[in-house]
Amino acid sequence: MKVALVYDRINKFGGAERLLLSLHRLYPAAPVYTLVHEPKTSLWAEGIRIIPTFLNKIPSLRARHEWLAPVAPLAFETHDLSEFDVVISVTSSDAKSVITRPNQLHVCYCLTPTRYFWSGESDYKEDKKLKFIPKAMKEYFKLVDLVTSQRPDEYISISNEVQNRVKKYYKRNSEVVYPPIEDKFYSKTQITSDNRDYYLIVSRLIPYKKVDLAIRAFNQLRLPLVIVGAGSEEAKLKKMAGSNISFVGAVDDERLIQYYRHARALIFPQVEDFGLVPIEAQASGTPVIAYAKGGALETVIAGETGYFFDVQSPESLVATVGKFNKQKILPEDCLRNARRFNFNSFSSQFREVIDHLNYRFLPPH
């Protein structure tokens, strides 16, 4: 079975890229077809055969994939995937646009239906890159997204949250296979509640991550908060933050694991499609305080490995941190829960689903 992977673009590193690495670990011979590839900002992809579209010939576009949104579906159509038996598109936007033949199985492993058209449309209304696009053009792009959403033969969703969105927006059924975290995040030594003297955020600093909400809450709490990550909102967030809040920028995984291991709790104020960060934190024995919506509801056990706040406001988060401080959550319970999301479980489940879909898809002899 010859497999090809298709991914939106390879020019950064985050949770979706970790998932792509897990899939490539599962199918090590599979090339990765993509829109653009910027090697300077994607060292993690070294050693993988990457095949970008013709747009990659313009170096200035490799880091500005947002400019390519109007032509991305057409660009993906130019990929020749005819030599493969199974095509797996991993996407939150346009990789599902590739064209396959009737005798090929195209499975979309959906990260979410295109966020700025559907579930996250309101969050992007003030985005400078989208703000001045005429309404008629936006509606056209949404129509294109609906058309390309019908190209995959089958869907797999990364969470129940995404499964519901795929059904709601694309009218497609899907199975759920949870992504794994990398083995290195699981604590190899004894974990305790000792030497945990700050709260932690691990996030890109962009609007929908709601880091500003956490900063407002911790300005009131006056408790130490460490923020790991970088992004377009960094300068604005630093101006908001009190002296009890520190920004450490982007860090490598070794340092990230140390931040996880010494945090009292991870703060997770956004709505995520799934979210690997809460699982990585729990793998270090660190509980999670999360907004009660999205993928966190599937990875955090209320009262056992963390707490949820019901309203996306500083006041609600402040009250939940106060509740958390009066309770005791055992690190070993967090680690036990995180073990549900290991690579071996993912590998066996994903292969089983793909093999089942492929068997069902094959024409009768």
Q: Is 165 found in the same domain as 279?
A: no
Sheet containing 86-91: order of strands: 50-52, 32-34, 3-7, 86-91, 105-110, 154-157, 175-176
Secondary structure string (H, E, C) spanning 337-349 = HHHHHCHHHHHHH
> Which pLDDT value is given to residue 191?
84
Pair (163, 100) in one structural domain: yes
Q: Which amino acid is at 146?
A: L
Return the closest-CA partner of residue 26 out of 80, 82, 90, 81.
90
pLDDT per residue rounded down to tens, the chain (365 residues): 899 999 999 999 988 999 999 999 999 999 999 999 999 999 999 999 999 999 999 888 887 767 778 899 999 999 999 999 999 999 999 999 999 999 999 999 999 998 766 655 555 555 555 555 667 777 888 899 999 999 999 999 999 999 999 999 999 999 999 999 999 999 888 888 888 999 999 999 999 899 999 999 999 999 999 999 999 999 999 999 999 999 999 999 999 999 999 999 999 999 999 999 999 999 999 999 999 999 999 999 999 999 999 999 999 999 999 999 999 999 999 999 999 999 999 999 999 999 999 877 766 54
Q: How does DSSP classify residue 363?
A: P
Residue 326: give its domain's CATH number. Answer: 3.40.50.2000
Neighbours of 74 (CB within 10 A): 14
Q: Tokens for 156?
A: 């797999």
Q: Both 242 and 289 in a single domain?
A: yes
Cα 16 to Cα 158, 191, 322: the distances in Å are 10, 28, 33
Q: In the prediction, which pLDDT does 363 show? A: 60
**What integer pLDDT is reported at residue 146 of this predicted model?**
93
Instruction: Identify whether residues 45 and 166 lie together within a single domain.
Output: yes
Shared-domain flag, residues 9 and 140: yes
Question: What pLDDT is stored for residue 324 in this prediction?
Answer: 97
pLDDT, position 181 = 96
Angle at 282 between CA 276 and CA 288, to 5 degrees: 85
CA angle, 338 then 343 then 349, to 5°: 105
Backbone angles phi, psi at 76, to 5 degrees: -65, -30
Token representation of residue 246: 């520190």
- Residue 70 near residue 323 (C-beta atoms within 8 A): no
Amino acid 68: pLDDT: 79
Q: Are residues 103 and 192 in the same domain?
A: no
Question: In terms of domains, do 15 and 125 share one?
Answer: yes
Q: Quote the domain boundaries for residue 241.
A: 183-340
Domain count, the chain: 2
Contact of 179 with 211, CB cutoff 8 Å: no
Give the pLDDT of residue 365. 46
Q: What is the pLDDT of residue 306?
A: 98
